[in-house]
Structure 1
């Protein structure tokens, strides 16, 4: 096995150039002092925010402090991620974290003081020409006003805050610390410990007995804790109900969607349209059964490889070139920036000792974005490169086009640009590949993205909707209720070609996202929007590309749904999900063709 390189030995061209953001430690310290100085001025505005001139000054100051703090925080953490064993950057990262808390505390009076103004005063400020740049910020505060309580009630809500985390914290402790899984015998007859990390590896095994043993071991362990896990999930719903009632929302779902200003139709639309397309998933299950050559398809067969051993070596240099070639439909300007990113050390490429695992795109306004990778010479890493550079390009273009206050795009839109890049790369590879084995490998990879992101996350979203509505109607739910609802949904989604093993009824118990309620639907909507964009770009050419680039430049200047609508993707209608499903149908047809 190859020795992992020390950070000091990594060739400089494979590392990111953080000096583009902050030149050195001395510059960091000077900027830190600058923030401390600016913080000293914030308190002067307390009690004066009814005055347009004072309000404008405090907003300007708040933005200045926020930008400096973001730069300090991002730089310190990215230096820490280069080698997490380096104590100098551990402490710098901690210093930046404490500064963020200090800034939050110092500026925390601004929004409540504006909210305390009467509707008439707020409307006057919104319409004041001196504050025209801050109109959107003030309108958003006015929108929230209906759900803000009196001062003593808000103080009480703040005290309840730490208690409200109890269900999530208890679940986390049980799931990650106290729950012990048995050992599972692998393909080589060795006993290997089952963990959250090894579970998917077991399910990807070519040996069916290994998959079955891991599946049964996983869910029999959760079953032993079913009463506790049922109680924690139930407590989480009760907490949500408390907040929805206290903050005067018509339902828990409406409270969850309020932040992004999204109507419940977007949520129900997703579920209904996916329901209409379930025959496609059932067809894919039939195909899976046929390709695996099994009499019965079981839940533990969903991750097993459909293509015999297939190795696709792709060097980093080749991956960069293929990503560039595949994104040609996005036009010269996009490609020029992308190429500049590849050549100007935006990316920290390879693993080294102590480096943070995984991949991300991050940065601070005013400097180009950065990407952290742990690149391996394979297909997966090439898709990761395309994905993370999608995020980076989204940030780059929105930062270029928007002022700091409105540059950050919301989470609802965050996965669109990254998934679109993957879709264009996939389209390019499928058109270019002549080897049937390679083609089948790609199609399987793509089909499973639809299954796991569009269908599975929508099933999760439907489960959340059902259990919350039942509690809102006065029912109290136990682990039996959760299991029955979850099992029935699996039957509905996977169809008759699948033997829905009884054990799957416990899967609800291991999904951490259920403690961040009504979040998972964003994976499905983001994926649908991206596939819809890719279809429009490939079929519609330049007009579609221009609309998409305008979307990337819009940042957080408007709410997510109108931002997408302007670019030609209307998530309040079933259309984008139907467009995504037409791509899924084409994948299945191509797979069926190859199996004839």
Structure 2
């Protein structure tokens, strides 16, 4: 039975992350905030109006880098403290105070990018040739030169940056603070419900009556907040549209893709090919679930049931370490040493508590180690999720050792490749170490229901829906709850066809994801997993040479664009071959699950 969640103060310290690695005391944090504010003013006074040539540009960038590197741990500390407890007023106020300070600093220092943009192409290329540390930043400035506004306009926009982040904060407040879920009833017995318990437990509960009742109760509460959440989202969209128009981009999609360093054909291909070619495989999987569980009908609320729920191993936090160490041993000692440190040095926040952000994420501040948020339920799924987040940690651990702060972060298009790679290594390690058909079926179904469902279905359907939203916004339109519900339902019906009943409440799924406030993020999950699927095949076939190639890719960070990074790994993502190969591979896995089901009987 799912229990009500404890408060943050009631959880064990060893299950929380140690933010003291960023700042030992609150006083140290406050002092750092004060110091960086003072130094930002000094920087502006010293360098504004001085950037005339390559030498003065590099001189200013050197000083700006010091300031930027000071801001990173301050912002990370404020954000992470708030993310584990949205009900903590002090943490929320600290985060808000930092956002205001960051907006002020951004406004003060906006002259730097404006003055750099006004330099000639030859001077920018000269500066780039002289300093590898700033090559990516300067290339970005050259690319965005046509879209740069008057320095005073840039300064004003920067001053409003914390206001532009307000819709996302409002979304989180609505979702994690104001939304309280009532108990739901099955056979005269009450069961507690929360965001975490629904997504971590009830959504995949093998008891059909409880699972569907939980879905209905969860959806009913979402429906109470649909209009507020839609208005919040529309506010975010209109700000993106205004910025895109001001800068002269042909569309919001083009504006958002500019940050990812990929062209529109790569974006559209990922959505169109999967919507059309993966759908038949996933419908087959849905029908298999219906047959195994002898369901009267297959509904949207049933799609997360495990193939074999009675076989789901439970895993302690300590046991998860051995699973992950063994699975990732192929990556080499330096990599697994990092994993061990993540456990021993408390990089990971395992606790379940009220007010904690849902899902999981990895924050990697430059100059420090990563921090991973997860709500540990003890299911094997958690091990896959943690391996995924440690993939992000491993990526930044390698990149930041070899790249400057401006070259360290890879494009969002590539960002999910190292994380999903770890999930694939975990699954293949488990498969290799057993001949039991039931265990093999459990592992294969885990790959489908978790790794691929999450990245190639859940997030891809978000992406297909998101593209429809931006098509409305690009035509000058607005959205409300009715429109968003219709769009989401339409995408779900298109993908699942007549094989899955899209029951009431499924259309509200758009309310559950924070990704819509992060640009064109959802489609990149499937892009990353396409790369990691192909790379995993290489690693399993070739061993160390392929691993060495992959580590070199991780170390490159953001010094190359996604197509170049994939090329270093021997994968050509400028064609549809890797994507079609991955979809075929998913089909093969589902065929194997079906065959093993018949064998097990």
Give the match's secondary structure for 1:295. Answer: coil
Q: Which moved more, 1:357-366 or 1:165-174?
A: 165-174
User: What is the CA distance between 1:49 and its match in structure 2?
Assistant: 1.0
Query: Contact conserved, 1:483 with 1:506, CA < 8 A, in 2?
Result: yes
Partner in structure 1 of residue 124 of structure 2: 125
- Equivalent position of 2:141 in the other structure: 141
Partner of 1:445: 446
2:217 counterpart of 1:212: no
Residues 449-474 of structure 1: per-residue CA shift (max 9 Å, x gap): 21232023222212222343255457
- Which residue matches 1:296? 297
Across the aligned residues of Structure 1 and Structure 2, the Cα RMSD in angstroms comes to 4.4
Q: CA deviation at 1:359?
A: 5.7
Unaligned 5+ residue runs, structure 1?
none
Return closer, same or farther for 1:31/1:167 CA change in 2, 3 Å cut-off: closer
Describe how 1:281-320 pairs up with structure 2 within 5 A: 281-310=282-311, 312-320=313-321
Distance 1:250 1:322 in 2: 48
Match of 2:68 in 1: 66
Q: Name which of structure 1's ranges 558-567 and 56-65 shifts more when overlaid on structure 2.
A: 558-567
Q: Deviations over 1:397-425 (max 9, x none)?
A: 11221133322334433322222111101
How far has the Cα of 1:445 moved from its partner? 2.4
Deviations 1:489-541 (A, max 9, x none): 22221133222335534544555544555321122222222222212211233
CA separation of 1:533 and 1:301: change in aligned 2, threshold 3 A = same
Q: What is the CA deviation profile of residues 175-201 of structure 1, one whole-angstrom value per residue up to 9, with x for unaligned ones?
A: 666777665213x63344655444444
For residue 545 of structure 1, the aligned residue among 544, 547, 551 is 547
**For the pair shown, which has the larger CA radius of gyration, 1 or 2?**
1
For 1:193 and 1:353, the matched residues in 2 are separated by 14
Structure 1's 366 and 292: CA in aligned 2 closer, same or farther, altered over 3 A? same
Q: Which moved more, 1:394-403 or 1:66-75?
A: 66-75
Structure 2, unpaired ranges of 5+: none
Contact residue 167 and residue 236 of structure 2 kept, 8 A: yes
Deviation at 1:157, TM superposition (A): 5.5
Query: Quick one: structure 1 residues 376 and 434, their matched pair in 2 at CA, closer, same or farther if it must change by over 3 Å?
Result: farther
Question: What pairs up with 1:236-275 in 2 under 5 angstroms?
Answer: 237-274=237-274, 275=276
CA contact (8 A) 1:569 1:576 kept: yes
CA contact (8 A) 1:363 1:370 kept: yes
Describe the shift of the 1:376–1:456 C-alpha distance in structure 2 as closer, same or farther (beyond 3 A). closer
Partner of residue 50 from structure 1, selected from 31, 52, 55: 52
- Which deviations, in whole Å up to 9, do the C-alpha atoms of 1:102-138 show, x marking residues without a partner? 64354332112222x25xx343232245556433322
Instruction: Tell me whether 309-318 or 72-81 shows the greater mean CA deviation.
Output: 72-81
Is the contact between residue 52 and residue 131 of structure 1 (CA under 8 Å) also seen in structure 2?
Answer: no
Rate the CA distance shift 1:34–1:465 in 2: closer, same or farther, 3 A: closer
Against the structure 1 CA distance between its residues 304 and 340, is the aligned structure 2 distance closer, same or farther, given a 3 Å change threshold? closer
Q: Tell me, what secondary structure is at the counterpart of 1:271?
A: helix
TM-score, normalising length: structure 2: 0.81
Aligned to 2:578: 576
* CA distance in 1: counterparts of 2:316 and 2:100, whole angstroms: 41
Specify the SS of the correspondent of 1:185.
strand
Segment of structure 1 superposing worse, 41-50 or 126-135: 126-135
Compare 374-383 and 159-168 and name the one that shifted more.
159-168
1:74-99 Cα deviation digits (max 9, x unpaired): 56777899999999999998887776
- The answer to whether the 8 Å contact 1:289/1:497 transfers is no
Q: Which residue of 1 aligns with 2:591?
A: 589
Can you list the C-alpha shifts for 1:14-69, whole angstroms capped at 9, x where unaligned?
88787877788898788778757754641211110114333222211111222233
Residues 360 and 389, structure 2, Cα contact 8 Å, conserved in 1: yes
SS of the counterpart of 2:272?
helix
SS of the equivalent of 1:406 reads coil
Q: Which moved more, 1:250-259 or 1:493-502?
A: 493-502
Deviation (angstroms), 1:566:
2.5
Q: 2-side partners of 1:290 and 1:163: how far apart? A: 51
2:341 corresponds to 1:341: yes
Tell me the matched-pair count. 589
State which drifts further: 206-215 or 68-77: 68-77
